[in-house]
Chains A and B, each alone.
Chain A
Amino acid sequence: MKKYRFNNESKSFDEESLTAGRIILTILKYCLYGIAAAAVMYLLFALIFSTEREKSLSLENEYLEQERDKMSDQVDLLDDVIKNLELRDKTIYNDIFGMDPPSTETFIEADTIASDSFLASMTDEQLAAYTNEEVDRAEERISNVNRQIRAIFQTLGDEEFKPTSLPSILPVENFKLAQTGASVGMKINPFYKTLRRHGGFDIIAAVGTQVLSTADGVVAKIDKASKGMGNSVTIDHRNGIRTIYGHLSEIYVHEGQNLKQGDVIARVGMSGTTFSGGLHYEVVRQGRSVEPVNYFFADLSPAVYRDMVVISSYTGQSID
């Protein structure tokens, strides 16, 4: 059946011709309708049916939500419990030492990084400001470290300076973190159970363990006693630093003997007033006993060093 179109200009009926353009236009037209129909179909389909994956996803969602609520409730509860425990800890510490427990927050703070959810909660402007702040802080830290490194290089450049003249190693070999005892400070004396100043660092070690000289030096004094530090060796490192090793059994050195860092000087014992086998190690600088832990940098990784500082300051009771 032929179809005609009315031509307005010539006022006549023209036969409709099937030109290529017209065919393409028609196909396109149908495609467009098809796409619209596909969209509507998908909507209907999505409303009524779910794919296997969607089914399992929505089930899992429901479950995850339940699980999350349960867990966050329990974590909230735990928070309360731990706060309560911390309070009790403080009370106990106060009962014993008459003061608040030492804080180790500074160590933990350095490790904290903003959580993803914290960052996600900020607007772009806040995020920019926060990032700027962090960058400033990092720059400040970098310049501090830079200054310190420069100072270290200056000291290293000094001709007379020898790194082995600092008591920078541990006085026993194969040291394990669990051997850390009390460091310098007010500690409970194990015999009288009263607070007394403890001048050294306790290393819990088996009787007979070799004791090393922690730096180059000369043996200044050897004491043999049944009370106090018991058998002890004092080494002068000639730079205002002396180290003292107490509660020894056998002593292998004599007064005036020259020593290199790492030389075996004695064996761990139980001589003198000591509660258990162990080494009492003191670093005396300009006549004052200082924290020996701070000198162990050459022997320890930063993580172990950090743990050691925490444990030695936490330990409330000395061995002597």
Chain B
Amino acid sequence: MSKESRYIYNSETSSYDLYVPSKLARWTRFGIVVAVGLAFFFLYFWIWNGVLGKSTPKTAILEKKNAAMLASIADINERMDAQNAALGKLQERDNVVYRSVFGMDEVPQSVRNAGFGGVDRYADLKIYMDADYLISSRNRLDILTKKAYVQSLSFDDIQALSARAGDMANCVPSIYPVVPTKAMQQTSPFGYRSDPINGVAKFHSGIDIGGPKGTDIYATGDGVVVRVDYNFYGYGVVVDIDHGFGYTTRYGHLLGASVIEGQRVSRGDKIGELGSSGRATGPHLHYEVLYKGNAVNPWNFFSNDITPEEYQDMIAKSRSRG
């Protein structure tokens, strides 16, 4: 209201009196200001929100905070990318290097990347606007955690073996099971051949070494005797040695076994004598190498460079060990 005073002509006193607005007039004026204010408030609100589609300051502040939260969750996702890459490298080495070296089965991808089925684990997140993003982030994190857990279990297994990795070369069956003299030669190779008894073509899962009855047979690698058995129609007196790292060797048609089940043997330890027990046409040793349960060609394992003298030396050492 104007600072300039206003006057009213008083006809009774014929003078100009100072104009003082009545209470009602003041309130009316105030009411007008409030009403106009309200109108403006709604008008602005409508223009800002409805026409321009902008957020009010409070909403904007909240939205900004919201975006910041989502950004920091995106940062977490980036960290998860790095972790996933690191875990991937470890998994790769686990499967490609360690498990192949130690003759272990690979951990199946379905186990490694197993998700979480059944109950909806993220139902509580569904009500939010960015539910998909949150759910996918948390799901990733859960899978990553599980991957790390599976990896750690896998390393438990591997470390049990890697701690004795130095023994591995001693465990693998890599020598001839008898003293490699001229008299002890392979008489029947690995692979398909006609059966010596009925002539039918059959897979021969090992090699046969012919020789005089009673010749000493030696363990071809360190291991544990897992089976000493007699089978009249099969391998006769048979000894199985588990060498670990995926390898088992089998010695058949023995005259007799000089080891018992559960006994630890070292490479070069005597395990029995050559004979012709079971389904055999003459005295010979049937020698098999099994890798992860499958017969492989034992011939590939024999190192060529070992002479009969060196072999005798090795046996002598094994004897002196007791």
B266 within 8 A of A: no
A128 within 8 A of B: no
A298 within 8 A of B: no
Residue contacts A-B, CB under 8 angstroms, 24 given: A4-B8, A33-B33, A37-B34, A37-B41, A38-B37, A42-B44, A56-B129, A60-B129, A61-B65, A74-B145, A78-B145, A82-B90, A85-B155, A88-B152, A88-B159, A92-B159, A95-B165, A96-B101, A117-B72, A192-B172, A194-B169, A275-B296, A316-B97, A316-B100
Q: In B7-26, which residues have CB < 8 Å from any A CB?
A: 7-9, 16, 19
Q: In B113-159, which residues have CB < 8 Å from any A CB?
A: 125, 128-130, 134, 137-138, 141, 144-145, 148, 151-152, 155, 158-159
Chain A residues proximal to chain B, CB less than 8 Å:
1-6, 13, 16, 30-31, 33-38, 40-42, 45-46, 50-51, 53-54, 56-58, 60-61, 63-65, 67-68, 71-72, 74-75, 78-79, 81-82, 84-86, 88-89, 91-93, 95-96, 101, 104, 108, 115-117, 188, 191-194, 226-227, 273-275, 310-311, 314-317
Residues in B whose Cβ lies below 8 Å from that of A104: 89
- Beta-carbon nearest neighbor of B142 in chain A: A74
Q: A34–B303 contact, CB under 8 A?
A: no
Residues in A whose Cβ lies below 8 Å from that of B159: 88, 91-92
Picked from B6, B93, B129, the residue with its CB within 8 Å of the CB of A314 is B93
Q: B9–A2 contact, CB under 8 A?
A: yes
Picked from B40, B101, B134, B163, the residue with its CB within 8 Å of the CB of A67 is B134
B21 CB to closest chain A CB (Å) equals 10
Q: A60–B93 contact, CB under 8 A?
A: no
Q: B4–A5 contact, CB under 8 A?
A: yes
A91 to B41, CA, bound (A): 71
Q: A54–B58 contact, CB under 8 A?
A: yes
A226 CB to closest chain B CB (Å) equals 8
By secondary structure, the A interface counts as: helix
A259 CB to closest chain B CB (Å) equals 30
A209 to B75, CA, bound (A): 47
Residues in A whose Cβ lies below 8 Å from that of B203: none
Q: B174–A192 contact, CB under 8 A?
A: yes
Q: A92-B162, A193-B168 are in contact. List 12 more A-B contacts (CB 8 A).
A: A5-B7, A33-B36, A37-B33, A46-B57, A60-B128, A64-B134, A68-B69, A71-B137, A91-B162, A193-B171, A315-B96, A316-B98
A118 CB to closest chain B CB (Å) equals 9
Picked from A41, A53, A93, A193, the residue with its CB within 8 Å of the CB of B93 is A93
Picked from A36, A65, A81, the residue with its CB within 8 Å of the CB of B37 is A36
Q: Knowing A54-B58, A75-B141 are in contact, say whether A64-B33 is a contact too (CB < 8 A).
A: no
Q: A3–B6 contact, CB under 8 A?
A: yes
Residues in A whose Cβ lies below 8 Å from that of B85: 108
B311 CB to closest chain A CB (Å) equals 16
B314 within 8 A of A: no
Q: In B47-88, which residues have CB < 8 Å from any A CB?
A: 56-59, 62-63, 65-66, 69-76, 78-80, 83, 85-87
| Pair count A-B, CB < 8 A | 215
B169 CB to closest chain A CB (Å) equals 5
Q: In B277-301, which residues have CB < 8 Å from any A CB?
A: 296, 299-301
B320 within 8 A of A: no
Residues in B whose Cβ lies below 8 Å from that of A188: 101
B3 CB to closest chain A CB (Å) equals 12
A41 to B56, CA, bound (A): 13
Q: B162–A89 contact, CB under 8 A?
A: no
Q: B36–A317 contact, CB under 8 A?
A: no
Q: B86–A82 contact, CB under 8 A?
A: yes
A316 to B79, CA, bound (A): 29
A194 to B155, CA, bound (A): 21
Q: B62–A54 contact, CB under 8 A?
A: yes
Residues in A whose Cβ lies below 8 Å from that of B6: 3-5, 16
B304 within 8 A of A: yes
Residues in A whose Cβ lies below 8 Å from that of B79: 75, 79
Picked from B5, B36, B300, the residue with its CB within 8 Å of the CB of A31 is B36
A16 CB to closest chain B CB (Å) equals 7
Q: B162–A67 contact, CB under 8 A?
A: no
Q: A115–B78 contact, CB under 8 A?
A: yes
B260 within 8 A of A: no
Residues in A whose Cβ lies below 8 Å from that of B137: 71
Q: A191–B169 contact, CB under 8 A?
A: no
Q: A34–B8 contact, CB under 8 A?
A: no
A95 to B169, CA, bound (A): 13
Q: B66–A61 contact, CB under 8 A?
A: yes
Q: A51–B59 contact, CB under 8 A?
A: yes
Q: A92–B158 contact, CB under 8 A?
A: yes
Most B CB within 10 A of own CB, among A6, A56, A85: A85
B32 within 8 A of A: yes
Residues in A whose Cβ lies below 8 Å from that of B107: none
Residues in A whose Cβ lies below 8 Å from that of B66: 57, 60-61, 64
Picked from B40, B76, B90, B300, the residue with its CB within 8 Å of the CB of A86 is B90
Q: B73–A38 contact, CB under 8 A?
A: no
Q: B73–A64 contact, CB under 8 A?
A: yes
A255 CB to closest chain B CB (Å) equals 27
Q: A68–B72 contact, CB under 8 A?
A: yes
Q: B75–A115 contact, CB under 8 A?
A: yes
Q: A92–B129 contact, CB under 8 A?
A: no
Residues in B whose Cβ lies below 8 Å from that of A74: 141, 145
Most B CB within 10 A of own CB, among A45, A46, A53: A53
Residues in B whose Cβ lies below 8 Å from that of A35: 37, 40
B316 within 8 A of A: no
Most B CB within 10 A of own CB, among A45, A89, A108: A89
Residues in B whose Cβ lies below 8 Å from that of A57: 59, 62-63, 66
A38 to B144, CA, bound (A): 53
Most B CB within 10 A of own CB, among A30, A74, A193: A193
Minimum-distance CB pairs A-B, first 5: A37-B37, A34-B36, A316-B97, A64-B69, A38-B41
